[in-house]
Amino acid sequence: MQPTTTNPETLQSQVIDLLRFPLIIGVVFIHNASPTLYVQGVEFGSSGSLPIHHVCSQLFSEILGRVAVPLFFLISGFLFFLNVDFNKQTYVKKLRARAKTLLIPYLFWNGLSILFYFVIRYVPSLDFFVNQTHRFEFTSHYLLQTLWGVADGTTMPIVGPLWFIRDLMVVIVLTPFIYTYVKRLRVYGILLLSVLWVFGWWFSLLGMSMTAIFFFALGAWISISRRNLVLEAEKVKYPVFVLYPLLVTAEFLTKDWGVHTFIQDAGVLCGILFWINIGISTQRTMVIRPTKFLSTAAFFVFAVHEPWLMGPARTLVFVWLNPSSDAALTAWYFVIVITVVLCGLGSYYVLRKISPSFTNFITGGR
């Protein structure tokens, strides 16, 4: 197809919409990395030598997939400050909007899981299908811990992937400080945060991860500086297309070396630019156009994939089919991800047809 000229603002919107769903697929890959599964104390799968599965899981779950969450934080920070004069009124308005898009779905999906684990107390056989580890206690203290993420020795809420929403809500509450920080220190403040992120120099406070703060602030700086996200990324298109595959290869080969962390961090930063430029290229050439259905379904797939779909899918495959060879485990590694994503999309489509208002409610009106 012939390249097309697109208004920069329109292009920016199209690229962001296009990236939402592929990034969710990356998150699904992250949670499907292990070739083993423990169900009621019994190990299924294989912990032996699996060279093909190792290559695939390292590439898709540990390297490519790890770009998804930082890029989501960056996009969130960028959109929060996009085309607004930030003041008290704007802040209050944004908080109310994010209560609908983030807080309500966060409470709903975690609350649904709490209810489910409560039911498991009386129907223990359901434990087999979700391989759950939570031991429900009907106390206000335990409920608060489970919602925020300090029950059963984990820092995750009861729906583990929703830690992203939790940390995002925290940085949004802190946006007046982030705005002041970015306005006063500008790019030097972002460089300082990048150093803290790379070296892990940050205090341990649940809900205030350095990943969330750094990438949200980076997106905020781009937006506050009145820069176009895609045009800025496109400036380094060709170097990134060369550098990112090299970093991916280097990270894979040096996984057990001491420099792995630094290569990984460089890969995440370069990967963000790489995937934004992939999105730009598809829009400029009209190879792929964003669809409203996939863009709006992305959050639903994210919310239901773990534990509602991934847990049962992995249990059925590992326990009933019991794959143990390298080829079988590799094939099921991809089949499980595809199945989870398709089931999520199908469930979203049916639910939206049956009750669009309820679907909007539990997905934040996306």
* pLDDT value at 258 more than 60: no
Kindly report the backbone phi and psi dihedral angles of residue 298, in degrees, each rounded to the nearest multiple of 5, phi listed first.
-55, -45
The per-residue pLDDT for range 110-150, each reduced to its tens digit, is: 999 888 877 777 776 666 555 555 556 667 777 778 888 87
Question: According to the model, what pLDDT value does residue 262 have?
Answer: 86
Q: How far apart are CA 127 and CA 125, in angstroms?
A: 5
Q: How far apart are CA 277 and CA 245, in angstroms?
A: 14
Q: Between the ranges 110-124, 162-176, 257-271, where is the mean pLDDT highest?
A: 162-176
pLDDT grade, residue 38 (50/70/90)? confident
Question: According to the model, what pLDDT value does residue 51 have?
Answer: 94
State the greatest distance between any 2 C-alpha atoms of the chain, in Å, as a whole number: 62
pLDDT grade, residue 221 (50/70/90)? very high
| pLDDT (average), residues 270-297 | 91
* pLDDT value at 321 more than 70: yes
- Mean pLDDT, the chain, whole residue set: 90
DSSP string, 120-183: HTT-GGGHHHHT-------SHHHHHHHHHT-STT-SS-SSGGGHHHHHHHHHHHTHHHHHHHHH
Query: Do the domain assignments include residue 331?
Result: yes
Q: Between the ranges 30-44, 205-219, 249-263, where is the mean pLDDT highest?
A: 205-219
Query: Do the domain assignments include residue 2?
Result: no
Total domain count, the chain: 1
- Which range has the worst mean pLDDT, 13-17, 135-139, 181-185? 135-139
- Structural domain of residue 98, as residue ranges? 8-362
What's the pTM?
0.93
Beta bridge partners of 47: none
Query: Do the domain assignments include residue 130?
Result: yes
The per-residue pLDDT for range 292-314, each reduced to its tens digit, is: 999 999 999 999 998 899 989 99
- The residues, any chain, with a CB within 8 Å of residue 117's CB and separated by 6 or more, are 132, 134, 136, 158
Q: How far apart are CA 99 and CA 103, in angstroms?
A: 5
Q: How far apart are CA 23 and CA 215, in angstroms?
A: 15
Question: According to the model, what pLDDT value does residue 151 have?
Answer: 62
Query: Do the domain assignments include residue 1?
Result: no
Question: According to the model, what pLDDT value does residue 116 have?
Answer: 83
* pLDDT value at 28 more than 60: yes
pLDDT grade, residue 1 (50/70/90)? very low
Query: Do the domain assignments include residue 3?
Result: no
How many other C-beta atoms lie within 10 A of the C-beta of residue 282? 17
| pLDDT (average), residues 50-55 | 94
Question: According to the model, what pLDDT value does residue 334 have?
Answer: 98
Q: Of 58, 24, 74, nearest to 306 (Cα)?
A: 24
| pLDDT (average), residues 176-196 | 96
Query: Do the domain assignments include residue 349?
Result: yes
Q: How far apart are CA 242 and CA 291, in angstroms?
A: 29
Question: According to the model, what pLDDT value does residue 216 have?
Answer: 98
Query: Do the domain assignments include residue 116?
Result: yes
Query: Do the domain assignments include residue 64?
Result: yes
